[in-house]
Amino acid sequence: MPRYVDGFVIPLKKSKVAAYCRLARLACKVWKDHGALDYVEACGDDLKVPFGLSFPKMAKAKAGETVFFSFIVYKSRKHRDAVNKKVMADKRLQAMCGSKSMPFDVKRMAYGGFKVRVEI
């Protein structure tokens, strides 16, 4: 059965990167505790690309912002749905969601589930 990936692109003020990383470390632990195979949070580094659409442009990043590209890996979509159901009920996650101290604007986050088609 092919694996499944949830992907995220999040524009974030550079001044909020440390706070976001603290939140991401907790989120990683929560997802992995509930069965996610892998959890990756990557901060933009080489974003001035000579071709295509850059992540900052796609995410409509403003001056002083960077972009995080993040993904969570699961065994399958069914596994993803089961893991996410547990994650959403986890009190550790509920404590950080909806908080005014969120380091990013959830409305600007891009998110989606993806079927893995090629993997070596």
Residue 78 is part of a domain; what is its CATH number?
3.30.70.100
* Residue 120 falls inside a structural domain: no
Q: What is the pLDDT of residues 93-120, one digit of tens each?
A: 877 766 667 888 889 999 999 999 998 8
* Residue 107 falls inside a structural domain: yes
* Residue 69 falls inside a structural domain: yes
C-alpha count within 13 angstroms, C-beta hemisphere, residue 59: 27
For the residues 3-30, what does the mean pLDDT come to? 96
Average pLDDT, the chain: 93
Q: What is the pLDDT of residues 46-73, one digit of tens each?
A: 999 999 999 999 999 999 999 999 999 9
pTM here? Answer: 0.91
Residue 87 is predicted with a pLDDT of 95
* Residue 49 falls inside a structural domain: yes
* Residue 18 falls inside a structural domain: yes
For the residues 23-36, what does the mean pLDDT come to? 96
Residue 98 is predicted with a pLDDT of 63
Own/partner pairs, 24-30, CB within 8 angstroms, 24+ separation? 24/70, 26/92, 26/93, 26/96, 27/93, 27/96, 29/92, 30/87, 30/90, 30/92, 30/93
Percent of all residues in the chain with a pLDDT value above 70, rounded to a whole number = 96
Question: Domain residues for 65?
Answer: 4-115
For the residues 76-94, what does the mean pLDDT come to? 94
